[in-house]
Chain A
C-alpha cells in the first residue's frame, strides 16, 4: 500500500498523504465507535515527526512476541490478527483480560503484574504497561497498512523463539521501515529555509534596533517583517500576511524554547549529538510534549454537540491556536481577521479577472476594527449563553457540578458565599458518609443544594436564566436534554468554552486599552488600511503578477 501514498510534500514538511494517513487512523472504526483514541494517534504522530520511534518499536516487538507466544487463541495461525483486530485487546482493560493467564516455558515467562506485563528472559525482564497498548496498536496499524505482509512475517519469525536477539532484530527492521516511509513523507528542508529566513530577519531587526533582549515579539515587529518579506524575492513565500504572522510566531517560540532548554542545562547533557549536529529525538519530543497542550485542537467545539457554530470557531481559531500570543499580538490577530480575510478574497479575485480585483480593492474589507471588536464582544456573550445552557443540563440531571458552573455567573460576593458553602458541605459529607464515592457525594450535594437555592435569590435567578439559555439554543445537542451518559462530553465542552472565553477576554482587554475611544480605533484602522491597501494594490493590482 506504500505505493498508493503519494509523497507530495506540503509546506509544513509533511506529505499530504501522510497527513491523510494519520487522519484515517483517527477515523477508522472499531468494536464501538473509533478504534483508536485521539490521544494515542496524536502521540504516535509526535513520535514520528520527532523521529523518536526507536523505543516504541522495541516495545511493540516485545509485545508482538508476547501475543504470538501466549497460548490462548481461537483463530488458527493468526494471533496478531485476533489480538489487535478481532478482539481489539487494545484498551488497558482488554489487554489485561487477554493476558490474564500467565504462561511459562523453559526459558521465558509471560506474566501480568499489577502495573505491567512482565516478559522474563534468561538475561532480562521487559515490562509493558497496559496504558501503552493504545499507542502500540496505532504503530502496528501503520506498519501493517504500509506492508501487510509483515503481519504473517512477524508471527512466523517470533513464534516459538526464546531468543531476545530476534525480537531486537524485528525492532530494528520496523525502525528501518518507518525510516524509509519518513524519508519520503517528512522532509523538513522547506521548513528549515523558512526558519532561517525568519530567524535571520529577527536577529538583524534586534541588532538594528540596538535591543539586547529579544524575548518579546510585538505587533510592530510582525508588521515590519511582513512588509519586508512580502516583496523580497529571496523570501520562501510570505506574500500572505497570515503566513508571515504564523511563521514569525512559531520561529520566535522555537527560539525561546531552545534558549530555555539550554539555560536549564548544558547542550551535551540535553542530548546534543556532535557527530550529527542535531539534538536527540528524545529531547525534541520532550520539549514538543511540554507545549503540545498549547497546540491542542479545539475544533471539536463546532462539531457534535455544536457548542459553537463553524463560523464562530473560524473567527476565533487563530487566537485559540496561538493563544500564548493572544495578548502580546492582539492587534496582529485583528489585522489577520480583517486584512487576512481581505487578502484571501483578493487572491480569489486575481484568479478571475483584473476587473474583479479592482472591484474588491475598492470595496475595502468586510469589517473595520470597531466592528471586529463588537463581534468579539458578542461572541463572548454567546459563549456565556452556551455555558449557561450546559449548566441547565447538569442541573436537570441533578448533578451538583451545576454549582461550580454557576460560580462564574454570579456576583463575586454571592459566588464566594456559595463556594464556602460548597466546600463545607463537601467536607461534611466526606467525613460522615459511609459511601464516599464521587457519585454519592455528588448526589448528596445536589439534594442539599436545594436549600441553598431557596436561600439565594441570585442563584435562583441565575438558574432561571440558564433554563432560558437552554430553551433558546436550537443547535445540535441542545434541542433536547441529552442523556446522563453524555454529561462528560458537555463537561469537556464547558471546559473548552471557558478556555476560549478566557483567551478572547484577555485579547479584548488589550484592545480596549489600545483603543481608548472609538476615534482611536478608527484612526488605527485607517492607518492600517493604507498600509495593507498599498501592498495589496502592488501585489494584485493591474501591473503586478502572481499571488
Chain B
C-alpha cells in the first residue's frame, strides 16, 4: 500500500462512517412524533391488514384515514380492489331483492346475507344484520371485515365475531358507510 495515501484513505473511511452513522441514527430514532401523524405513508401491509380486518386498536383507529387515502389515489384503489378480490371469502355483486315495506335493500348470497332492521324507538338507526351460512374459523373468533366498493369509492365495515351464525351493527341511516352499503351499485366483499 502506498503509505502517502494512508491519511487520505483514513479520512475517506471516517467520512463514510460519519455519514452512515448520522443517517442510521436518524432512522433508528425515527421522525418526531408530530411528523409521524401527518405524512405517514401507507405500507402494502397496512392495506392488507385493513382488508383482512385486523382488529388491533391502532389500525382500527387509523382505518378511516387509510380508506380516505385509498379513495384519493387511483393506484392505491386499484391495488385495494385487486387485494379484496384475492382475499375475499364471499362476495355479493348485485342487488337481489327489496325487503318488504322498506326501501333498504337486502343482500342475500349463498354464503352470507345482510339484512336491515330499523330501530323502533330511534327510526334513524338501523340494525345491520350479517348472517354467514357456513362461517370459517376466523369469523368465529375475530372481528370480520366487509368491504364495500362502487365505481367511485371504497369503504369497509367491521362486524363483531359471529355468534350463532350472525353478527350485527347499529348504524345511522345518514352515515356515509351506510349509504354505500345500501347502494344497489355497490359490491360487497366478506373477508
A4 x B18 contact (CB < 8 A): no
Q: Name the residue on B nearest A32 (C-beta).
A: B56
Considering the chains assembled together, what is the distance between the CA atoms of A254 and B16 in angstroms?
8
B15 x A254 contact (CB < 8 A): yes
Residues of A within 8 A of B24 (CB): 45-46, 49-50, 288, 292, 295
Within 8 A of A (CB), among B16-74: 16-31, 35-36, 39-46, 48-49, 52, 54, 56, 58-59, 73
B105 in the interface (beta carbon within 8 A): no
Query: Contact size class for B?
Result: 35 or more
A19 x B6 contact (CB < 8 A): no
Q: Smallest CB–CB gap between A173 and chain B, Å? A: 18
A25 x B43 contact (CB < 8 A): yes
A440 in the interface (beta carbon within 8 A): no
B41 x A297 contact (CB < 8 A): no
Considering the chains assembled together, what is the distance between the CA atoms of A60 and B174 in angstroms?
49
B35 x A16 contact (CB < 8 A): yes
Interface of B is mostly: helix
Q: Smallest CB–CB gap between B23 and chain A, Å? A: 4
B23 x A28 contact (CB < 8 A): no
A448 in the interface (beta carbon within 8 A): no
Can you give 16 contacting A-B residue pairs, CB < 8 Å? A12-B22, A12-B25, A14-B23, A18-B27, A19-B30, A28-B49, A42-B27, A45-B28, A81-B86, A85-B48, A192-B19, A259-B14, A262-B6, A262-B9, A262-B10, A272-B13
A191 x B23 contact (CB < 8 A): yes
A29 x B31 contact (CB < 8 A): no
Residues of A within 8 A of B99 (CB): none
B45 x A23 contact (CB < 8 A): no
A221 in the interface (beta carbon within 8 A): no
Considering the chains assembled together, what is the distance between the CA atoms of A86 and B28 in angstroms?
28
Residues of B within 8 A of A23 (CB): 30-31, 36, 40
Considering the chains assembled together, what is the distance between the CA atoms of A468 and B15 in angstroms?
52
Count residues on chain A whose CB falls below 8 Å from chain B CBs. Answer: 74
B14 x A257 contact (CB < 8 A): yes
A295 x B43 contact (CB < 8 A): no
A261 in the interface (beta carbon within 8 A): yes
Residues of A within 8 A of B42 (CB): 1, 145
B100 in the interface (beta carbon within 8 A): no
B22 x A191 contact (CB < 8 A): yes
A489 in the interface (beta carbon within 8 A): no
Considering the chains assembled together, what is the distance between the CA atoms of A381 and B28 in angstroms?
29
A287 in the interface (beta carbon within 8 A): yes
Considering the chains assembled together, what is the distance between the CA atoms of A297 and B54 in angstroms?
29
* Other-chain residue from B19, B41, B48 in contact with A5 (beta carbon distance below 8 A): B41
Considering the chains assembled together, what is the distance between the CA atoms of A541 and B124 in angstroms?
63
* Other-chain residue from A4, A148, A258 in contact with B10 (beta carbon distance below 8 A): A258
Residues of B within 8 A of A1 (CB): 41-42, 75-76
A323 in the interface (beta carbon within 8 A): no
A24 x B41 contact (CB < 8 A): yes
A195 x B45 contact (CB < 8 A): no
Considering the chains assembled together, what is the distance between the CA atoms of A23 and B33 in angstroms?
10
Q: Smallest CB–CB gap between B29 and chain A, Å? A: 7
A114 in the interface (beta carbon within 8 A): no
A6 in the interface (beta carbon within 8 A): yes
A85 x B45 contact (CB < 8 A): yes
A28 x B45 contact (CB < 8 A): yes
Q: Name the residue on A nearest B23 (C-beta).
A: A49
Q: Which of A12, A18, A33 has the most CB of B within 10 A?
A: A12
A254/B45 contact (C-beta < 8 A), A14-B26, A16-B31 known: no
A35 x B18 contact (CB < 8 A): no
B86 x A75 contact (CB < 8 A): yes
Q: Name the residue on B nearest A26 (C-beta).
A: B30
A20/B36 contact (C-beta < 8 A), A45-B27, A199-B14 known: yes
